[in-house]
Structure formats: structure tokens, C-alpha cells
Structure 1
Amino acid sequence: MYFVNKEQLNTKLNYLQQLLTDYPQQKQNHYAFERIAQMLIEASVDIGNMIIDGFILRDPGNYKDVIDILELEGVISKETQQYINKTVEVRKQFVHYYDELNATELIPIFDESVQYYQHFITEVLQFLESENVPITAFGQKGE
């Protein structure tokens, strides 16, 4: 292990958890859905990049690579990787084609994947625990 900024990682995990909490109530507001959906992708990739950088894992070339590396290195399960990558694949629509976005078509993809974002948090925490990086999604252990 090289270095993992536990405070920053904790903040991002908490943010991801809050997005998951807000998603069911907010998804019918298309603007709220767009923001939450995009931030689910961004936060999980940021967390993935922090882990990849901290443990000097492979160098990702794009967003999908980040999630793939996490699975290949045993941080997340294959199933979690597959469902999160389904959402990563539509990121471009949020970023570049936001004026043409049809949230009604995208909501089912995220409805199906939300539970895997929760798995992502759990699996990341389990990995960090196994690597002796004592952190939880609700603060560092011992606080």
C-alpha cells in the first residue's frame, strides 16, 4: 500500500451512501435523477481511483477500466462490476448529450443497479478492512 487518504475516502463513501438514500424519493424529478445518477457514477469512480492509486494497482484508461480493475483485483465482485458498468456506459449521455437525455429510459437501468452501488460500498469497506485500512462509511474506526 502506498497511501490512502482515509478522510477523503470516508467523505466520498458517505456521499455515495447519501445519493443511494435520496435516489428512491428523488428519481421522479428528472433533474434530480440526472444529478444523482451522474454522481453515483462519478463518486464510485473517484473511490475506485483512490483505491487504485493507494494500492498501486493497474493504470486505468477510462471510467469503465476503473471498475474493471477493482473487480480484477478483488475489491468488488463480478456482479457488482457488471451492474455498475451498465451505468458507467451511459455516463456520456449525462455529460455530453444532456440536452437530448431521456430520463424515462435511464431510470430502469439505475433502478436495477442501485443495490449494486450499495454492494460497492460494502465490498470496498471489506477490502479496506482486509488491507488494514480501518475505515467505515460512517467514520474511521475508533472515533
Structure 2
Amino acid sequence: MYYVNREQIGVRLQAIPAISEALRSLAEQWSGTLIEGLAQERALHLAIETITDVGSYLIDGFIMRDASSYEDIIEIIGEEGAFPKELQEPFIALVKLRKPLVQDYYDWQRAELHPQSRELAEQLLVFKTSVEQYIERELIG
């Protein structure tokens, strides 16, 4: 029997629509202001933390192999079918942004719209739905 912390996964998944909307809005109205740049940084960072937190809960709850990095979290839950395979590469690219966003923030190009921001808005919504379906499938089936 698995112990999947559905409550904590759910709390994190509930944040996704707001993050997605922020990314979508920023991409549609981008003019490169400082405020937009800082908002984009935060939205990307929240996307990374949300995906990796959910991934960690899935790995722990379904007793998957241990992850050694953020990229590994994405690979493991992707291989297990928690989200569509075509999202694995973009999500690995996304989690690679964690170090620049969190540690090298002083070098971040705030005036530029990050290339992933536009597509990530929809990818996050797909991730949310896919994870919810995965949990139901694994716990019921």
C-alpha cells in the first residue's frame, strides 16, 4: 500500500493556474520593464518549485527510485508516466533555470522574455491534469 500525500500534492497543484496565468499574461503584454522582469523570475521559480515538489511527493509516495537532482526528479516521474513524454525535455530545461534564478539572480536578463515563458503557461496546466489523473489511476488501479 502506498502513502501518497495527496493533500500536499493538491496544495501545490492548486498554485499552477495562477502561475500559468501570470506567465501567459507576461508573455502577451511583455514590454521588458523591471516589474515584468521580476514577475517573470518569480513565476518561473514558482513553476520549478511546484513541479519538483510534486515530483518529490510522487517519488516518495509511490516508492520510486531516489532522485539525485532536480533533473532526475523530472526524469523519474516522466518515466513513470506522471505527465506526457513530450514535456520531459522542456521541464528538464526549466529546472536547469533554478540555479540562475536562485543563486545567480544578479546576472538574470530581466528585460528579456524568457523563451520558455510563453509555452510553459500551457505546459503547467497539462502537468496539473496529468498528475491528478496519474494519482487516480495508480491508487485505484
TM-score, length-normalised on structure 1? Answer: 0.84
2:48–2:95 CA contact under 8 A, matched in 1: yes
Q: Does 1:53 align with 2:53?
A: no
> 1 or 2 for the larger relative contact order (CA 8 Å, sep ≥6)?
2
- The Cα offsets for residues 7-30 of structure 1, whole Å up to 9 and x where unpaired, read as 211110001222112222245411
Tell me the equivalent position of 1:80.
87
- The Cα offsets for residues 2-53 of structure 1, whole Å up to 9 and x where unpaired, read as 3122221111000122211222224541111100111101111000000110
Identity, in percent, stands at: 34
1:1-143 mapped onto 2 (5 Å cutoff): 1-26=1-26, 28=30, 29-105=36-112, 107-132=114-139
In 1, distance between residues paired with 2:92 and 2:111? 19
Task: Find runs of 4+ consecutive structure 1 residues off by over 4 angstroms.
Answer: none
SS of alignment partner, residue 82 of structure 2:
coil
Q: Which runs of 5+ in 2 are unaligned?
A: 31-35
What is the number of equivalent residue pairs in this alignment? 133
Question: What RMSD in Å do the two structures reach over aligned CA positions?
Answer: 1.7
Q: Which runs of 5+ in 1 are unaligned?
A: 134-143
Amino acid at match of 2:58: I
